[in-house]
Amino acid sequence: MAEEHSGTHPADPAGGNASRPWQTLSSGFEQARAREDSLDRLVEWPAQRTLLGDVAGLAVLDAGCGNGTKIAQLAVEGAGPSVGVDISGNFIEAPPGVELIEGDLSDLGAVPGLNGRRFDRILFLQSFGYAADGVKALQTAREMLTEDGFILLTRTQPIRYAIERSEQNGTSLGEEYFATESFAYRHRNWDDQVTLTKRPYTMSDLLNTFSAAGLWIEIAVEPQMPDEAAGRYPHKQAVMNKYLGILMFKLRPIPAR
């Protein structure tokens, strides 16, 4: 889901750490996502759904699926045998045709039951940044695609973190955008006792990761709030105006020459 932009603050690395942060965070972010004014509901899921197109009969793998709500929704819409993987292991009851598996998206091929399986659509929705090695995670996912398969990957605009960090540190946007040191980060809207570690990234980093993994961008989208939703939730339009939102990429394997 979107990392809602209204309640972040820098973390004190000395305190509030959880050894398995997502096990603790998961209920907080699922509650935030379920709110009727969440950016996930207003902007992201509709745009993700549009990019996925008709999923009837398709095998879908949702890497970093949260509690499994999105993959369950795709099953309701006719997707074929599908799988959600998340490290939190905090899942809804899986509907028929959907398996929800506790596992690490860093190496999907090593997740129990996934070795040798192929998928028509592989999703990394606001989860790719947690891979131990992004290139390796995407290479593995690419190998798991069917012939006409694609990856749908969404990531927060890196400028958002640069704005927040520049405000917090009294630095310039450029200094933070091009910073390379990981930073500790807590999310007040989800659970401000849990610290996540974030690696800064630039647009070039992201695009070069796709190339290094042997993927090309069929389409990139920067979804915005529909006018009607902006009228109903001006505080969320203000968040979008300040932090820009997220980036979405439809990625396909570069054909062998």
Ligand X SMILES: C[S@@+](CC[C@H](N)C(=O)[O-])C[C@H]1O[C@@H](n2cnc3c(N)ncnc32)[C@H](O)[C@@H]1O
Residue with Cβ nearer ligand X (199 or 234):
199
Radius of gyration of the chain (CA): 18
The residues, any chain, with a CB within 8 Å of residue 59's CB and separated by 6 or more, are: 79, 80, 81, 82, 117, 118, 119, 120, 121, 146
Residues facing 248 on adjacent strands:
154, 221
Out of 106, 139, 166, 208, point to the residue binding ligand X (CB under 6 A): 106
149 is an interface residue for ligand X by CB under 6 A: no
Q: Which region, judged by CB under 6 A, interacts with ligand X, from 86-94, 173-181, 210-218, 246-254?
A: 86-94
SS3 80: coil
Asked if 91 is part of the footprint of ligand X (rule: CB under 6 A), the reply reads no
Query: Judged by CB under 6 A, which stretch of 64-72, 176-184, 200-208, 221-229 contacts ligand X?
Result: 64-72
Decide: helix, strand or coil at residue 101.
Answer: strand
Q: Is 33 in the site for ligand X (CB under 6 A)?
A: yes
- In whole angstroms, how close is the CB of 123 to ligand X at the nearest point? 7
In whole angstroms, give the CA distance from residue 104 to residue 111.
7
Under the binding rule (CB under 6 A), the answer on residue 194 touching ligand X is no
Tell me the closest approach of the beta carbon of residue 170 to ligand X, in angstroms: 28
- Rule CB under 6 A: is residue 144 a binding residue for ligand X? no
Scanning 53-61, 122-130, 172-180, 233-241 for contacts with ligand X by CB under 6 A, the matching segment is: 122-130
Is residue 1 close enough to count as binding ligand X by CB under 6 A?
Answer: yes
Q: Specify whether the CB–CB gap between 188 and 8 falls below 8 A.
A: yes
Are 38 and 2 in contact by the 8 Å Cβ rule? The answer is: yes
Contact between 125 and ligand X (CB under 6 A)? Answer: yes
Question: From the CB of 187, what's the least distance to ligand X, in Å?
Answer: 9
Q: Is 85 helix (H, G, I), strand (E, B) or coil?
A: strand
Query: Residue 106 CB: number of other CB atoms within 10 A?
Result: 17
Q: Is 126 in the site for ligand X (CB under 6 A)?
A: yes
Structure tokens at 198: 């974030």
Q: What's at 17, amino acid-wise?
A: N
Q: Does 26 bind ligand X (CB under 6 A)?
A: yes
* 138 near ligand X, rule: CB under 6 A: no
Instruction: Please tell me whether residue 65 binds ligand X under the rule CB under 6 A.
Output: yes
CB of 174 to ligand X, least distance (A): 27
Q: Which of 88, 189, 195, 209 binds ligand X (CB under 6 A)?
A: 88
Q: Compute the distance between CA of residue 236 and CA of residue 233 in angstroms, rounded to an integer.
A: 5
Q: Give me the least distance between CB of 29 and ligand X, in Å please.
A: 6
Task: Centre a 10 Å sphere on the Cβ of residue 201 and count the other Cβ atoms it contains.
Answer: 18
Q: What whole-number distance in Å separates Cα of residue 3 and Cα of residue 32?
A: 9
In the complex, the residues that contact ligand X under the rule CB under 6 A are: 1, 22, 26, 29, 33, 40, 64-66, 85-88, 104-106, 125-127, 130
